[in-house]
Amino acid sequence: MIESITIAKTANTPSIVTSGGDVLAANPHRKGWMIQNVGTNPLFIRFGTGASSTVFHAVLKGGTVDSDGNGGSISQMGGVVYQGVISAAGTLPKMVITELTR
């Protein structure tokens, strides 16, 4: 038996974001997303608005130097994907964000 697989039809171009706040708007068509910290300071991620260093769901470690690719990342690329607002905060935040939609 062959299982049906849903494949995302479009992906935005990965964006480099250098400010905190709401970094992904709510999207009922979201099929996956990824955030990677490419800065050197910790990045605080919250599922919802209002991320801060005291209100967050995940902390992504910073890289050793700017944009070295060693910073932490978080993603959902399958299963039940969170479709609400995602916010980020940190000192001099710098992240790469990708969203997959249908």
pLDDT at 63 over 60: yes
Provide the residue count of the chain: 102
* Arithmetic mean of pLDDT over the chain: 90
Parse the chain into domains and list their residue ranges.
10-101
pLDDT tens figures, 17-39: 999 999 999 999 999 999 999 99
Calpha distance 41→1 (Å, rounded): 48
Q: Model confidence at 6, in pLDDT bands (50, 70, 90)?
A: very low
Q: Considering the entire predicted model, what is its pTM?
A: 0.86
Which pLDDT score is estimated for 15? 86
Which pLDDT score is estimated for 9? 52
State the CATH architecture for 10-101.
Answer: Sandwich (2.60)
Q: What is the DSSP letter of 38?
A: -
CA distances from 49 to 6, 22, 32, 68 (A): 29, 6, 19, 28
Q: Provide the sign of the torsion angle of the four alpha carbons 49, 52, 100, 17, taken in this order.
A: positive
